[in-house]
Amino acid sequence: MSKIIAIDVGLKRIGVAFAYRDVALPLSPVLRKNRNQAARDISNLLVEYDAEILVVGVPLGGSSEDEMRRRIKHFISLLNYGGKIVYEDEAFSSSQASEMIADKRDGHLDSVAAMVILKRYMDKKAK
């Protein structure tokens, strides 16, 4: 079974989740001071967790889809990562995450949203 990291790229924070076998867990979010620092931090996590697959949440539909997709793909191009990259619809992941946790102040919501995106990917692969 693959080791998978999922990210939910935001302007202030990047939510991060990790899965191995059938278990997906949220990790601490990456605070985004600038895109180079954030890309370095995510690249380090990919190495630390020996990730074979990177699942990236992207918006599908909506008025800002093209702009956000462009920004996310640019961010991904800054990563030092040679593994498999998969894009997964992030629609409603934050609202689903919001229903799962009570304390939304510390950025944990972003990583729970990444976990929701990761679980969607895992569910698709299981079918």
Residue 11 burial (10 A CB sphere; 0-12, 13-18, 19+): exposed
Structure tokens at 23: 């278990």
Per residue of the chain (127 residues), what is the pLDDT tens digit?
689 999 999 889 999 999 998 899 999 999 999 999 999 999 999 999 999 999 999 988 766 778 888 899 999 999 999 999 999 988 766 766 677 776 655 668 788 889 989 999 999 888 7
* Residues whose CB is less than 8 angstroms from the CB of residue 46 and which lie 6 or more positions away in sequence, other chains included: 5, 54, 79, 81, 83
Q: Is 91 helix (H, G, I), strand (E, B) or coil?
A: coil
The residue behind tokens 């924070």 is 13
Q: Which residues pair with 15 in a beta bridge?
A: 8
